[in-house]
Chain A
Amino acid sequence: MATVEIRDVRKSYGPVDAIKGIDIAIRDGEFLVLLGPSGCGKSTLLRMVAGLEGITGGEIAIGGRVVNTLEPKDRDIAMVFQNYALYPHMTVFDNMAYGLKIRGIPKAEIRARVDKAAEILELGRFLDRRPSQLSGGQRQRVAMGRAIVREPAAFLFDEPLSNLDAKLRTQMRVEIKRLQDRLRITSLYVTHDQVEAMTLADRILVMNHGVAEQIGTPLEVYQRPASLFVAGFIGSPPMNVLDGRIDDRGEAVLVPGGQRLPLPQPRPTDAGRPVKLGIRPEHMAVAAEGFSIEIELVEALGADTVVYGRLPDGETLLVRMAGIPTVRERDRMTVAPQADALHLFDAVSGRRME
């Protein structure tokens, strides 16, 4: 149980800056997800917290104690790796017990802790097996068991589910959620999968090129993306982004093709300013007037339908409708966004315009 504070942390590999100054204070018991595309520096940041990677600048504190120069073993953290990193020659029991043995914890207590973790994770039957005799999902659970028995100040997860097939991944996601509700141990969880991030996180830190684009709860990140990058990364299918301009009275956005979309609140100071206009596919609906699109592709997903339409100027516009398809390819249809569902971003910086 502890807080984890990351203060202006930086990492350079020679001339390459992998992490360019990240600040976040993770509360005691909070589940923070680091979300971002591959190569954005998520693992690097996590490994700096673990002590597996040196810190070029800034400060990391776990439970109020600055750990910059501490060895991993002295940081009171446990880590779950993407490829599980189980000791292949040890039984499941020994894998979980190894860290405790080294710390000199009495045999009886090791037994008790491992048995308890095995019960929580339903691994009781497998304690005498080797990792090679387990399925991927079971190995994943052993890796989590190894972290749990340590009773650390913080859990660190590096894409723990990405080696599992889709169905197992969903199962394990639910299991991690259950575990977190039960144990309430401060966690940092790295993933590039937005569904994992949305379902597991108390807060999400969206990363891009070594900087934090946005820190917020899953709904904040979805409802008020702080930048075009976040808007494009969160949500599936991704948000539609159109070039636009705020009209001369600051009351509406004009988009190519002559559409005029009224703003919920007038913005007189931004009158005439070029903007990027974001509209989520699920916030579009068939309307009497609005964007006229030619339907290029219809994806029926069962519960809902994604329509890929082409605007007169050639841009693609995605529309997500509930239920099974009611339109066909090469039909024309007219759609309009819900009035309160417009996201405005600065045309140059890509930052959200509040």
Chain B
Amino acid sequence: MKPTRFIDLVPHIVLIVGVLIFAYPIYVTLIGSTWDSGTIGRGGLPLWPGGQGLDNYAQAWAGEAGARAKYTPVRTMMLNSLIMALAIALGKIAISILSAYAVAFFRFPLRMAFFWLIFITLMLPVEVRIIPTYKVVADLGLINTYAGLAIPLIASATATLLFRQFFLTIPDELLEAAKIDGAGPVRFFIDVVLPLSRTNIAALFVILFIYGWNQYLWPLLVTSSGDMETIVTGITKMIGTGESANDWNLIMATTVLAMLPPVAVVVFMQRWFVKGLVDSEK
């Protein structure tokens, strides 16, 4: 018994240490958001909550300005980020599941050529094609629009590949049975493929939502007006260049607020795809 106990203990200790290391900065942020900027500015942040929490959050959420600088209110930035992240996640899923469906289930001329074309874009991340993309978006007049924020990031070779691999595991006989039952390609997609993919969709949604939420470089380029600011770029703009002191209390409150939607998505979708895993079958 004893050696087993010990072996059980080791992973737990490692996990707990890991959690502490990851959780500590978040804890500091959380504490920081409850003190006034003076306390933080002096460099002597206590490790227990202060009394300024409500004020800080209210000001960050709705306020136009901190003590020293002018910001876009967090509620605007969060709405922008939410729209962008949802558009990217849902757009990527919609486009990639349809292209994967085409590549996996249909024989058409140049099928493999299209497949490789999609595959090749994997090698070109956003950063590499950012200048031509910017040019196209600017010419289309999409600067400072939600479309400009989301559309260039929607094409996704990764998700297409993932769905294709999953579709290849759906037995041919299922498609044939549906054909004999009278289901055409659209019905088969809606009635069979989509429900069978729900676990994959849920997992991808989590990953892609966070991917969209955390976008930095692209929103920085295509937004210039304050009311199109996203939260990730917004936070960095709140941190000054050193000419004036920063409103650390507001920055930390904003940071905590910025973490909430991704956390909510993970928590909510986790229940969803655990459910999917439990009654999923092939």
The reply to whether B177 and A88 form a contact with Cβ atoms under 8 Å apart is no
B171 within 8 A of A: yes
- Given A83-B171, A88-B196, A89-B195, does the pair A73, B281 have CB atoms closer than 8 Å? no
Q: Interface 1/0s, chain B 176-208, versus A by CB < 8 A?
A: 111111110001000110011000000000000
Contacts of A86 in B (CB 8 A): 177
B196 to chain A, nearest CB (A): 6
Q: Interface 1/0s, chain A 129-147, versus B by CB < 8 A?
A: 0111000000000000010
Interface range on chain A: under 10, 10 to 19, 20 to 34, or 35 or more? 20 to 34
A72 within 8 A of B: yes
User: In the assembly, what is the distance between CA of A50 and CA of B172, in Å?
Assistant: 15
The reply to whether B179 and A130 form a contact with Cβ atoms under 8 Å apart is no
Contacting residue for A72 out of B180, B187, B279, CB 8 A: B180
Q: Interface 1/0s, chain A 75-95, versus B by CB < 8 A?
A: 001110111011111000000
The reply to whether B181 and A102 form a contact with Cβ atoms under 8 Å apart is yes
The reply to whether B187 and A102 form a contact with Cβ atoms under 8 Å apart is yes
The reply to whether B171 and A73 form a contact with Cβ atoms under 8 Å apart is no
Contacts of B282 in A (CB 8 A): 88
Contacts of B196 in A (CB 8 A): 88-89
Q: How many residues of B contact A (CB 8 A)?
A: 19
The reply to whether A130 and B279 form a contact with Cβ atoms under 8 Å apart is yes
Contacts of A88 in B (CB 8 A): 196, 281-282
User: In the assembly, what is the distance between CA of A82 and CA of B174, in Å?
Assistant: 11
- Given A99-B182, A130-B281, A132-B281, does the pair A85, B195 have CB atoms closer than 8 Å? no
User: In the assembly, what is the distance between CA of A102 and CA of B192, in Å?
Assistant: 13
B8 within 8 A of A: no
User: In the assembly, what is the distance between CA of A79 and CA of B179, in Å?
Assistant: 10
Q: Interface 1/0s, chain A 93-122, versus B by CB < 8 A?
A: 000001100110000000000000000000
- Given A85-B171, A85-B176, A89-B196, does the pair A102, B182 have CB atoms closer than 8 Å? yes
Contacts of B176 in A (CB 8 A): 50, 52, 72, 79, 81, 85
Contacts of A89 in B (CB 8 A): 192, 195-196, 281
The reply to whether A73 and B179 form a contact with Cβ atoms under 8 Å apart is yes
A5 to chain B, nearest CB (A): 20
A220 within 8 A of B: no
- When C-beta atoms are compared, the residue in chain B nearest to A152 turns out to be B180
User: In the assembly, what is the distance between CA of A27 and CA of B51, in Å?
Assistant: 90
User: In the assembly, what is the distance between CA of A50 and CA of B174, in Å?
Assistant: 14
Contacting residue for A79 out of B177, B192, B195, CB 8 A: B177
A243 within 8 A of B: no
A175 within 8 A of B: no
User: In the assembly, what is the distance between CA of A52 and CA of B178, in Å?
Assistant: 11
- When C-beta atoms are compared, the residue in chain A nearest to B196 turns out to be A89
The reply to whether B195 and A99 form a contact with Cβ atoms under 8 Å apart is no
Contacting residue for B179 out of A71, A87, A131, CB 8 A: A71
The reply to whether A87 and B174 form a contact with Cβ atoms under 8 Å apart is yes
Q: Interface 1/0s, chain B 124-158, versus A by CB < 8 A?
A: 00000000000000000000000000000000000
Q: Interface 1/0s, chain A 47-78, versus B by CB < 8 A?
A: 00011100000000000000000011100011
The reply to whether A77 and B192 form a contact with Cβ atoms under 8 Å apart is no
B243 within 8 A of A: no
Contacting residue for B180 out of A73, A82, A83, A130, CB 8 A: A73
Contacts of A52 in B (CB 8 A): 176, 179-180
User: In the assembly, what is the distance between CA of A86 and CA of B196, in Å?
Assistant: 12
Contacts of A99 in B (CB 8 A): 180-182
Contacting residue for A102 out of B171, B173, B183, CB 8 A: B183
- When C-beta atoms are compared, the residue in chain B nearest to A158 turns out to be B173
User: In the assembly, what is the distance between CA of A27 and CA of B178, in Å?
Assistant: 27
The reply to whether A72 and B179 form a contact with Cβ atoms under 8 Å apart is yes
User: In the assembly, what is the distance between CA of A72 and CA of B262, in Å?
Assistant: 47
User: In the assembly, what is the distance between CA of A274 and CA of B191, in Å?
Assistant: 64
B249 to chain A, nearest CB (A): 51
B127 to chain A, nearest CB (A): 40
User: In the assembly, what is the distance between CA of A79 and CA of B182, in Å?
Assistant: 12
User: In the assembly, what is the distance between CA of A87 and CA of B191, in Å?
Assistant: 9
Known: A88-B196, A102-B187. 6 other contacts (CB 8 A): A51-B180, A52-B176, A72-B179, A73-B182, A81-B173, A89-B281
A-B contact pairs, 8 of them (CB 8 A): A73-B182, A81-B176, A83-B171, A87-B191, A89-B196, A89-B281, A102-B182, A103-B182
Residues of chain B whose beta carbon lies under 8 Å from any beta carbon of chain A: 171, 173-174, 176-183, 187, 191-192, 195-196, 279, 281-282
9 A-B pairs closest in CB distance: A99-B181, A85-B173, A73-B182, A132-B281, A85-B177, A102-B182, A89-B195, A81-B173, A88-B281
